[in-house]
A and B are shown apart, each in its own frame.
Chain A
Amino acid sequence: MHTAISLRERSQVNPLARSVFALNALAFVMATPAGAYTAYVSNEKGNSITIIDTAKMEATKTLLVGHRPRGIALSQDGGELFICAGDDDLIQILDTKKLSITGTLPSGPDPELLILSPDGKLLYISNENDNLVTAIDVATRKIVADIPVGVEPEGMELSPDGKVLVNTSETTNMAHLIDTQTRKIFANVLVDARPRAAQYTPDGSELWVSSEVGGTVSVIDAANPKVKQKIVFEVPGLSKEAIQPVGMRFTHDGKKAFVALGPANRVAVIDTATKKVEKYLLVGQRVWQLALTPDGKYLYTTNGVSNDVSVIDVASLKVLKSIAVGSFPWGVAIARQ
């Protein structure tokens, strides 16, 4: 809490942060009520999960969980939240009704990110320390497969048809495409330095991979896994080193993509068809992961350094509000209730 307070105090004298606050305050007046969903935000340093009521756009509760929670994922029905507790070397299961930890899953050391199979039966986890993607049977809570990948596995993604599991490896600089049936890699695609998130377009035709250090997004042809285009970012007044793409989300209609640019404190809005950056939305500091509300109307961003979450209105591309959360917010997932 001390960290949070002092950072907020400091941000008040930061002219950049002040303009964000002003913008948010202005926009909030115009905000319309959102659908009543629940957003979960993992606070990496707070060792907690902040729960946000998306209708009110307010934090309602903070739950203490395991150490260094980062990647989080919801079960199909939203009843369970799987939390990578990196410093505890395990996955915690949070019952979202009881709001208590009901179990743990073995994960191997330092789990960071995870994704649930479409049928909800398997959880795929990236294990940074062992260069493995681990598949866990959720029902039996047993590891069913370890798939060797590159150095420092990170981002996890599944193709819309569930046939391809994608893992990015931060030091190998590849996207590994894994057949979910055989659990074998069938393609390795080199991308720019330190790949983080991987995201399929909703129609499954393209796989986008963000490279944090390289500063680019690689667009990979899903049918013929090769990089067909690279998207670069330029923000006036910012050095190229400050532009560090991490989290990505496509609008439900697939027409626009949002890319969080880390210490550039902005979310880029990209036209999916032309790959042109249309807009940079100023959010909080070190914007990291993104999640859309289930109705696709609002985008939530975790801003690690400013200890808040920004809410973006997808239709108007305006930043509506920033919501104070715990220390160093990292992951975000939004449930229907």
Chain B
Amino acid sequence: MIFKHGIFAAFFGVALSACAVPAVAADNIDVKAAFIRAPHMRETLSILDIPAADDGIAGAELAVEDNNTTGRFLGQAFAIEDVPLRPGDDPAAALNGLVARGVSFVLADLPAAALLALADAAKGKGVLIFDTDAPEDSLREENCRANVFHIAPSYSMLADGLAQYLVWKQWRRWFLMKGSHSQDELYARALAHAAKKFGAKIVEERTYEDTGGGRRSDSGSVQTQRLIPVATQNAPAYDVLVAADESEVFANYLPFRAWDPRPVAGSAGLRPMSWDGSHEQWGAIQLQNRFMKRSSRRMNARDNNAWVAMRMIGEAASRTGSNDPKIIRGYLTGPDFAIAAFKGQKQTLRHWNQQLRQPILLGDGRMIVSVSPQEGFLHQTSELDTLGFDEPETKCTLQ
């Protein structure tokens, strides 16, 4: 077997170099990346949302394959190392080993505090970090870092994308129901900010207390059916029930069960998101097909953010012919960078906080209903900057 593989590898190598010779004459370079990821909650209300074992990393690995297809014409080889953390593991400690192995690019699927610790630990080590999940605005504002790129949209971008559509629909009176965890509060504040920004009104803000307990139960619907109407009773007149439940406690229970017959949006119903398994427009079906073929499941937002992050690295490497993180950062933050990521328009970086500009998809998990920015929300430079905190309001000073 080893012998056979050897012959195959040698043959394959010749074939590849034959392809690569007439291409851009560049020295062969290796681009080494790693994916540091903390486990995501498996306690989801819907079993469809339980993360797969290769959640996130599967997207990065697909992009590595894509980059390598391009790389064979340019003499560039990409690799990614999967670094799953266990509860209590220190991401900064994992980083040291990676740096020793020559890794310059780290995709991070980590909670905000861990991401920040990683960024600070990476300072001066010639490592670029790509945030593929944490949506906290603070990471892009007061706690922004020069060595971190945000591929995942922020809470404010998600909330603004949703708000534009709800306002376009003339559903201006919102009943905001939020969870009792700090993460829920962050999303609720972004939604409240979006309401104010685009002319919607929160007629009531109510907290749904997490009283503990598991999400799985055989006859749960019987109780839920009685619980949710009561929890949503006696609200002032409203157009849409907006949920901020980042903790998977109640939002997916709201549709069809709330006291008033109103649509649900936010953490359930019509959700703002960077990607969904049902998105197929603008050639996205091609990426979905490639992902499905490789991973036997649909691509979720975390998979896609990781794919985009790895493609950004690949794009910068193919344009600059370099694997030097300084040069890569220079290209990504420079005027020539744009990435095609199947959302209908070019995506670029906000130079002031290194957030990827992007359209926000609105969907119910089965179909994409709309894509924001909505028509008519204008901006002097890019309509994508109607989503999230804009340059004049930023608190970020990159360092």
Q: Give A contacts to B, CB under 8 Å.
A: 109-110, 128-129, 131, 148, 150-152, 169-174, 176, 184-188, 190, 192-194, 212-215, 239-242, 244, 263
Q: Which of B2-10, B17-25, B180-188, B235-243 contacts A (4 or more CB under 8 A)?
A: B17-25
Find out whether the CB atom of B346 lies under 8 angstroms from the CB atom of A214: yes
From 209 to 249 in chain B, residues with beta carbon under 8 angstroms from any chain A beta carbon are none
Partner of B346, one of A152, A170, A215: A215
Residue of A nearest to B65 (CB): A151
Q: Is B207 an interface residue (CB 8 A)?
A: no
Across the A-B interface, give the 3 residue pairs with the lowest CB-CB distance, nearest first. Answer: A241-B345, A213-B340, A194-B340
Within 8 Å CB of A186, what residues of B? 22
Q: Which of B133-141, B159-167, B171-179, B311-319 contacts A (4 or more CB under 8 A)?
A: B311-319
Q: How far is the CB of A230 from chain B (nearest CB, A)?
A: 11
Q: How far is the CB of B31 from chain A (nearest CB, A)?
A: 15
Find out whether the CB atom of A171 lies under 8 angstroms from the CB atom of B311: yes
Find out whether the CB atom of A150 lies under 8 angstroms from the CB atom of B69: yes
Find out whether the CB atom of A170 lies under 8 angstroms from the CB atom of B340: yes
Partner of B338, one of A131, A169, A213, A263: A213
Residue of B nearest to A187 (CB): B22
Q: List 29 A-B contacts (CB under 8 A).
A: A110-B286, A129-B290, A148-B19, A150-B69, A150-B70, A150-B73, A151-B70, A169-B70, A172-B66, A173-B318, A185-B22, A185-B73, A186-B22, A187-B22, A188-B24, A190-B319, A192-B338, A193-B338, A193-B339, A213-B338, A213-B345, A213-B346, A214-B338, A215-B346, A239-B379, A239-B383, A240-B346, A241-B382, A244-B345
Residue of A nearest to B71 (CB): A172
Within 8 Å CB of B319, what residues of A? 190
Within 8 Å CB of B340, what residues of A? 170-171, 173, 193-194, 212-214
From 323 to 358 in chain B, residues with beta carbon under 8 angstroms from any chain A beta carbon are 338-340, 344-346
Find out whether the CB atom of B346 lies under 8 angstroms from the CB atom of A131: no
Residue of B nearest to A174 (CB): B73
Within 8 Å CB of A170, what residues of B? 283, 286, 340
Q: Complex Cα distance A152/B286, Å?
A: 8
Q: Is B289 an interface residue (CB 8 A)?
A: yes
Q: How far is the CB of A236 from chain B (nearest CB, A)?
A: 14
Partner of B23, one of A187, A215, A239: A187
Q: Mark B354-380, 1 if CB is under 8 A from A, else 0.
A: 000000000000000000000000010
Partner of B345, one of A110, A172, A242: A242
Within 8 Å CB of B318, what residues of A? 172-173, 190
Find out whether the CB atom of A172 lies under 8 angstroms from the CB atom of B286: no
Within 8 Å CB of B19, what residues of A? 148, 184-185
Within 8 Å CB of B22, what residues of A? 185-188
Residue of A nearest to B289 (CB): A129
Q: Is B384 an interface residue (CB 8 A)?
A: yes
Find out whether the CB atom of A173 lies under 8 angstroms from the CB atom of B346: no
Find out whether the CB atom of A188 lies under 8 angstroms from the CB atom of B383: no
Q: How far is the CB of A242 from chain B (nearest CB, A)?
A: 7
Residue of A nearest to B338 (CB): A193
Q: How far is the CB of A288 from chain B (nearest CB, A)?
A: 12
Q: Complex Cα distance A152/B73, Å?
A: 15
Q: How far is the CB of B49 from chain A (nearest CB, A)?
A: 28
Within 8 Å CB of A192, what residues of B? 338
Q: How far is the CB of A199 from chain B (nearest CB, A)?
A: 20
Find out whether the CB atom of A171 lies under 8 angstroms from the CB atom of B338: no
Q: Complex Cα distance A170/B319, Å?
A: 15
Contacts beyond the supplied A151-B70, A172-B66, A188-B23: 13 A-B pairs with Cβ under 8 Å = A129-B289, A129-B290, A170-B283, A172-B70, A172-B73, A176-B73, A187-B22, A188-B24, A212-B340, A213-B339, A239-B379, A240-B382, A263-B344
Find out whether the CB atom of A129 lies under 8 angstroms from the CB atom of B73: no
Q: Complex Cα distance A242/B318, Å?
A: 25
Find out whether the CB atom of B69 lies under 8 angstroms from the CB atom of A131: yes
Q: Complex Cα distance A197/B290, Å?
A: 22
Within 8 Å CB of A193, what residues of B? 315, 338-340, 346
Find out whether the CB atom of A241 lies under 8 angstroms from the CB atom of B383: yes
Within 8 Å CB of A194, what residues of B? 283, 340
Q: How far is the CB of B325 from chain A (nearest CB, A)?
A: 21
Find out whether the CB atom of B315 lies under 8 angstroms from the CB atom of A173: yes
Q: Complex Cα distance A185/B16, Å?
A: 11
Within 8 Å CB of A152, what residues of B? 283, 286
Q: How far is the CB of A148 from chain B (nearest CB, A)?
A: 7
Q: Complex Cα distance A150/B339, Å?
A: 16
Within 8 Å CB of A263, what residues of B? 344
Q: Complex Cα distance A242/B66, Å?
A: 26
From 3 to 60 in chain B, residues with beta carbon under 8 angstroms from any chain A beta carbon are 18-19, 22-24
